[in-house]
Amino acid sequence: MPAALEDSSVPAKKAPTPPAEAAAAAPEKPSPPGSGLSQVQRALRKLGLVRDIDFALYLPMRYEDETRIVRIADTRDGDVAQVEGVVTECEVVYRPRRQLIATIDDGSDTCQLRFFNFYPSQQKQLAVGAKVRVRGEMRGGFVGRQIMHPTVKAAGTALPNALTPVYSTVAGLPQPVLRREVRSGLARAVLDETVPVQIGFRGAWNLRDSLTFLHYPTPDVAIATLEDHSHPAWQRIKAEELLAQQLSQLQARMERAAQRAPVLPPVSPEPDAASLHSQLLAVLPFGLTGAQQRVGEEITRDLGREIPMHRLLQGDVGSGKTVVAALAAARCIDAGFQCALMAPTEILAAQHFGKLVGWLDPLLAARGQRVAWLTGSQKKKERDEMSAAVESGQAALVIGTHAVISEKVRFKSLALAIIDEQHRFGVAQRLALRGKAEGHLEPHLLMMSATPIPRTLAMSYYADLDVSTLDELPPGRTPIVTRLVADHRRDEVIDRIHAQIAQGRQVYWVCPLIEESEAVDLRNATETRDELAGTLGEPIQVGLLHSRMPTAEKQAVMAAFTANEIQVLVSTTVIEVGVDVPNASLMVIEHAERFGLSQLHQLRGRVGRGAAASACVLLYAPGDSGRVGEAARARLKAMAETSDGFEIARRDLEIRGPGEFLGARQSGAPLLRFADLTTDTLLLDWARELAPVMLRKHPDLAQRHIDRWLGTKAEYLKA
């Protein structure tokens, strides 16, 4: 067990008793709506606060120290201070705008209070002669000490004996109301121990003391230990959370082990020239890398078992995941079953379709079978024809987008489902694909990701999956040179484009998407295309690709770019994954500071796919200060320093945290609220060791622990 959870050198202080709270623990029940206002109830539910335990686990984001009063004369510029004094002046002025200005005097000095938004009640509260207690950030200036928009209370009330919690909230739920609801829920919550002491926690801090302390810390605590979550009370909470996650992941894995899938053994123990798998290997225009061979063997072993495969295939850009998927599909078809491959966008699905049709269609045709194509943009006649081929079993391999999981699509014998860019699919979509198998059998599931998963994520969020890694790039891939270029050097980039096109090469120019306004994004992309076309001149052709274009138009643009009829392709991020044009040797990413690190890496991977030396130019626009933000600077620096996808992923996790890193998976699998995977690896290791012991020896307590921490969210892990 980590030292942080052993008997701590920090004694387990009794946390201050929450004001007006000493209620005994009662059975779990939904929290009452507090003020009785439906608006409050709705706001609480928006925050996920329904059960008593939800309130208890809703910890403050920061604290205010209202436990002491300081003299005005002892404050310094920038201090957040609480002072008491008599109001000596109070007036409404109109220079340069309407504002309320009051002055208080505590005998040591004076302080001016300034409000730009105020109510008549505040004017009354600050009447000359009134004694008040105010709190806020002290500022120095030529008028003396000043606080902008301080909190104001009547002086003389008793000081609290704990720091005041400040919670993250939503509109319609002011802090006093939320504090009251949390205080009430914490008092009612059942917080008995769910981990037997002989196998679990041996520290001095139990769960109730830890939670009470973190809601109401004593004023003598080192604030830094609360902010960096290193305090023993925080260690206990993080350990409990990680244990709940590991228990739920392991439980999901055990439930899957009880399910049954079609057994898909090789046609014969020895290589069989007549098998589709062997024929596919023979027609591939390249040999497999060692990593592809190793991963292929891992998948083959899984498919030969009656337990459903749930494997994540991760690999950097260009590592050859599509080939591995095709060989897995061939194994499935050899065994007499169907395989489905689903991609998140039509462009990516079309890339897979083009490759796999080229490889497999002639081989399948000799067997009276085919590859089917299903997307939402298909004409009804074509989709009906494809659906009929799927239902009859003639379509041995089905490739498409979300249309593959349409209710109208029925498989004859689906045994393997392959999901590309799995993090972009929600839980319900993955479940729907799994539900396409016939009878009581589950299909084997192979999920692919071009975003490498850092070790700590693989151990936590993907602990329910087996992970295969393609850590070797095929020979012939050229390294990509990455350059950071400020926007004012745009002319140099244009010169570079001219040079590349003169050598017969092609160029991507990527414009950012701004979530607030897709219309603005598309206008910007269109204007960029027009600007480049005018600057580059004839005969250079500049194309445009964005998500709002009709599918047929997108396909026509990509076909023209692939054929080098378009030399420069201006695009939004629809080309992030899957696009494969070996002749493209230069990628320009405009406003690179707006992109996420993994997204930048994915975009960069669209070049360097041929023999020509390739480059990626990150055009960034310094802000008003002449600098980009700290996080953006860290992303750009990482891109310039490394092209290793695993190192990129590790840094991205550090910068963004797991919630954003995981993308759509957060709509399903429960995310960690308190533990930090970059710093709490010892706690994670401890939780991984304890989880199987808990499930084996104390299954009822393990289930109670999962229910307490995850509630219904644990169900998502079964997807």
pLDDT of residue 426: 54
Q: Are 644 and 597 in contact (CB under 8 A)?
A: no
Which residues have a Cβ under 8 Å from the Cβ of 506 and sit 6 or more positions away?
500, 561, 564, 566, 567, 568, 569, 581, 583, 584, 585, 586
Report, as an integer, the average pLDDT of 76-84. Answer: 92
The residue with greater pLDDT, 629 or 40, is 40
Flag whether pLDDT at 27 surpasses 50: no
| HEC-encoded secondary structure of 442-473 | CCEEEEEECCCCCHHHHHHCCCCCEEEEECCC
DSSP 565: S
Distance CA 231, CA 204 (A): 12
Which residues have a Cβ under 8 Å from the Cβ of 124 and sit 6 or more positions away?
none
Which residues have a Cβ under 8 Å from the Cβ of 585 and sit 6 or more positions away?
500, 505, 506, 507, 607, 608, 610, 612, 613, 614, 615
Coil/strand/helix, residue 99 = strand
Coil/strand/helix, residue 639 = helix
Report, as an integer, the average pLDDT of 439-462. Answer: 78
Residue 574 Cα distances to 274, 442, 520, angstroms: 40, 33, 16
Report, as an integer, the average pLDDT of 575-592. Answer: 79
C-alpha R_g of the chain:
31
The residue with greater pLDDT, 666 or 596, is 596
Report, as an integer, the average pLDDT of 492-502. Answer: 91
* Pairing of β 110-115 and β 395-400: unpaired
What are the pLDDT digits (tens) for 629-688? 777 888 888 888 887 777 787 787 777 666 555 553 434 444 678 988 778 889 989 999
Do the domains spanning 72-154 and 480-642 agree at the CATH topology level?
no
Weakest mean pLDDT among 53-57, 477-481, 505-509: 477-481
Weakest mean pLDDT among 25-39, 183-197, 333-347, 604-618: 25-39
pLDDT of residue 470: 86
The residues with which 486 forms a beta bridge, in sequence order, are 620
pLDDT of residue 396: 92
* Pairing of β 614-620 and β 584-589: parallel
Which residues have a Cβ under 8 Å from the Cβ of 449 and sit 6 or more positions away?
312, 313, 314, 421, 422, 423
Flag whether pLDDT at 440 surpasses 70: yes
Which pLDDT band holds residue 26 (cuts at 50, 70, 90)?
Answer: very low
What is the chain's percent helix, strand, coil content, to nearest 5? 40, 15, 40
Q: Which CATH class is domain 72-154?
A: mainly beta
Q: What is the share, in percent, of the chain residues with pLDDT greater than 90? A: 38
Flag whether pLDDT at 466 surpasses 90: no
Residue ranges covered by each domain of the chain: 3-60+184-226, 72-154, 480-642
> Does residue 539 have a cis peptide bond before it, meaning omega lies within 30 degrees of 0?
yes
What is the H or E stretch that residue 648 is in?
helix 645-656
The residue with greater pLDDT, 95 or 493, is 493
What are the pLDDT digits (tens) for 539-567? 899 999 887 788 778 888 888 998 999 99
DSSP 711: G
Q: Whose structure tokens read 């720091």?
A: 163
Sign of the alpha-carbon dihedral angle for 205, 211, 217, 218: negative
Which residues have a Cβ under 8 Å from the Cβ of 35 and sit 6 or more positions away?
177
Distance CA 44, CA 169 (A): 9
At 375, the amino acid letter reads T
Residue 607 Cα distances to 323, 348, 480, 531, angstroms: 19, 16, 8, 23
Flag whether pLDDT at 10 surpasses 70: no
Q: Are 352 and 418 in contact (CB under 8 A)?
A: no
pLDDT of residue 345: 74
Weakest mean pLDDT among 17-26, 49-58, 264-273, 324-333: 17-26
The residue with greater pLDDT, 452 or 606, is 606
The residues with which 395 forms a beta bridge, in sequence order, are 370
Which pLDDT band holds residue 513 (cuts at 50, 70, 90)?
Answer: low
What are the pLDDT digits (tens) for 164-181? 999 999 988 999 999 999
CA angle 44, 49, 55 (to 5 degrees): 120
The residue with greater pLDDT, 375 or 279, is 279
pLDDT of residue 185: 96
Residue 508 Cα distances to 320, 343, 614, 636, 717, angstroms: 22, 22, 12, 19, 38
Distance CA 452, CA 644 (A): 10
Going across the sheet that includes 370-374, the strands are 370-374, 395-400, 338-342, 414-420, 444-449, 310-315, 466-470
pLDDT of residue 339: 92
Distance CA 71, CA 91 (A): 24
Distance CA 466, CA 463 (A): 8
Q: Which residue, 636, 610, 654, is CA-closest to 500?
A: 610
Flag whether pLDDT at 12 surpasses 80: no
pLDDT of residue 23: 36
Q: Are 303 and 331 in contact (CB under 8 A)?
A: yes
Phi first, then psi: what are they for 78, rounded to 5°? 95, -15
Distance CA 414, CA 433 (A): 10
What are the pLDDT digits (tens) for 226-274? 988 999 999 999 999 999 989 988 888 888 888 888 999 876 656 667 8
Q: Can you spell out the DSSP letters for 318-369?
A: TS-HHHHHHHHHHHHHHTT-EEEEE-SSHHHHHHHHHHHHHHHHHHHHTTT-
* Pairing of β 151-154 and β 131-139: antiparallel
Most confident listed range (182-186, 279-283, 377-381, 410-414): 182-186
What are the pLDDT digits (tens) for 245-258? 899 888 888 888 88
User: What CATH number matches the domain at 480-642, 3.90.1150.10, 3.90.1170.40, 3.40.50.300, 3.40.50.700?
Assistant: 3.40.50.300
Q: Are 587 and 510 in contact (CB under 8 A)?
A: yes
Which pLDDT band holds residue 87 (cuts at 50, 70, 90)?
Answer: very high
Flag whether pLDDT at 627 surpasses 80: no
Flag whether pLDDT at 696 surpasses 90: yes
pLDDT of residue 22: 37
pLDDT of residue 419: 86
Flag whether pLDDT at 30 surpasses 60: no
pLDDT of residue 9: 43
Which pLDDT band holds residue 138 (cuts at 50, 70, 90)?
Answer: very high
Rounded to the nearest integer, the mean pLDDT of the chain is 82
The residues with which 447 forms a beta bridge, in sequence order, are 312, 419
Q: Which residue, 506, 645, 514, is CA-closest to 587?
A: 506
The residue with greater pLDDT, 518 or 60, is 60
- Sort residue 476 into left (φ over 0), alpha (ψ -120 to 50) or beta: left
